[in-house]
Amino acid sequence: MKHSSVIEILKKVGAVITNDHFVYTSGKHGSVYIRKDKLYPNTELTSYVCKLIAQQMKIKHIEVVVGPAICGIVLSQWTAYHLSKITKKEVFSVFTEKTYDNLQIFDRPQVFKRGYEALVKGKRVLVVEDLTTTGASVKKVVQKVKEAGGTVVAVCVLVNRSPEIVTTSYMEAPFSSLSVFKAEAYEEKNCPLCKKGVPINTEVGHGKEYVGRRKK
């Protein structure tokens, strides 16, 4: 199977939406949204992009792949599967989860549950995620792996939307992405879409949660 790029795959499955007003996981606003959940029902395509990650990481001696719940679980599973096949060594797949102590999704920390921190301790770890806008969510996973005693050998995402911001230096771990799709992300107070009165999309992203908080 041949595909030109991850972005083309995402466009093919209808995951890239433009010219609207979205609220991202980080709490920032923007006009472009990538619905990565559109990719995951297509198991062949999902397997393909994860194989690309595995091929890129095959010489890193990865022992465990970690992804943040929910969508990162899918990437972690497929990437670990392909790494196991390529390296002919068993590579584990685990995930972190958000706590719900804080009602704002972008403030919720990532934690290991189910005893998964024991599988990470002392291991060489690859952290995977679908996309980064601010990189904050993935960085939380990196920090949690380090706290659990794992060594973050690499971080790889399908799409980096902020290549000037989300870097190895910011992540405090070797960082790479399969593709780049630049898109502005604004703090609410600086959002030009808000200033123009463009309605927030409450069907995609975190607009519904945002509007609900505003009403309160």
Residue 94 lies in a domain: yes
* Residue partners of 53: CB distance under 8 A and separation at least 6: 75, 79, 82, 126, 128, 156, 158, 178
Strand bridging mode 16-17 / 124-132:
unpaired
Residue 102 reports pLDDT greater than 70? no
pLDDT at residue 3, rounded to an integer: 54
Q: The domain containing residue 51 runs over which residues?
A: 6-208
- Which residue, 60, 66, 57, 63, is CA-closest to 147? 66
Phi-psi region of 122 (alpha: psi -120 to 50; beta: other; left: phi over 0): left
- φ and ψ of 163, to 5 deg: -65, -25
With respect to residue 131, please indicate whether it lies within any of the assigned structural domains.
yes
Instruction: Provide the mean pLDDT of the chain.
Output: 91
Task: Provide the pLDDT for residue 62.
Answer: 98
Question: CB within 8 A of 157, min separation 6: which ones?
Answer: 128, 129, 130, 131, 132, 138, 176, 177, 178
**What token pair was written down for 142?**
């990196």
Instruction: Please tell me the total count of domains within the chain.
Output: 1
- The Cα–Cα gap between 156 and 6 comes to 13
At 106, which CATH number?
Answer: 3.40.50.2020
CB 127 within 8 A of CB 152: yes
CB 58 within 8 A of CB 90: no
Indicate the pTM of the whole model.
0.86
Residue 144, token pair as written in the block = 């949690």
pLDDT at 12: 92
Residue 216: inside a domain: no
Dihedral of the CA atoms 118, 126, 134, 214 (nearest 10)?
A: -40
- pLDDT tens for each residue of 140-195: 999 999 999 999 999 999 999 999 999 999 999 999 999 999 888 899 999 999 99
List alpha helices for 90-173, DSSP H.
117-120, 136-147, 168-171
Give the distance, in angstroms, between the CA of residue 51 and the centroid of all CA atoms in the same chain.
Answer: 16
Q: Residue 131 forms beta bridges with which residues? A: 159
Residue at 110 is within a domain = yes
Residue 29 domain flag: yes
Specify if 89 maps to a domain: yes
- Pick from 42, 126, 28: which is nearest to 84 by CA? 126
Amino acid in the structure at residue 216: K
In a domain, 213, yes or no: no
Q: Phi and psi dihedrals of 76, rounded to 5?
A: -60, -45
